Amino acid sequence: MQITKKTLSDIAIAYGVEAEFDSQMFREDELNIGTTDGEQIWLSKFDDMEIMAIAFLHELGHILFQRRFFRRSRSFSKITDEGAAWEVAFMLADELLRPLNAYNNKKLREYAMHCMRSYMIEYNELDDKHE
């Protein structure tokens, strides 16, 4: 199975989520990143389709986690919130994109860990934004 933007777009549709690929919301030099507002997903340009897939599932993970457990974007801490979205991403990958072999895919695990490390540098552990 060849994973394409269409594959990811179909998953977004199945979950009732809007997804924008190669989004203009990012600068030209911003690569391999995604974001969500809890309803829509925006992805920058990616230099690797598998990384794009797991980044997409991570953003979808944020949305599904929020839908399941709370309706607004409140969280105990940014780090645990991000960790939860990564766990959902790998579960979804295992279910929907089996050829990625996500749990055993070193490249994807390293990307996720790289993101987790960057959150730790970027954010304080306690998310006081929503207080």
Cα 114 to Cα 110: distance, rounded to the nearest angstrom: 6
* Shortest distance (Å) from residue 82 CB to Zn ion: 5
Measured from the CB atom, the residue of 85 and 108 that comes closer to Zn ion is 85
Residue of 112, 100, 127, 102 whose CA lies nearest to 59: 112
* Shortest distance (Å) from residue 85 CB to Zn ion: 5
Could you give the 3-state DSSP secondary structure of residue 43? Answer: strand
CA atoms within 13 A on the CB side of 81: 21
Measured from the CB atom, the residue of 58 and 97 that comes closer to Zn ion is 58
* Shortest distance (Å) from residue 44 CB to Zn ion: 14
Site for Zn ion in 75-94 (CB under 5 A): 82, 85
- For tokens 């794009």, the residue is 52
Would you tell me which residues interact with Zn ion (CB under 5 A)? 82, 85
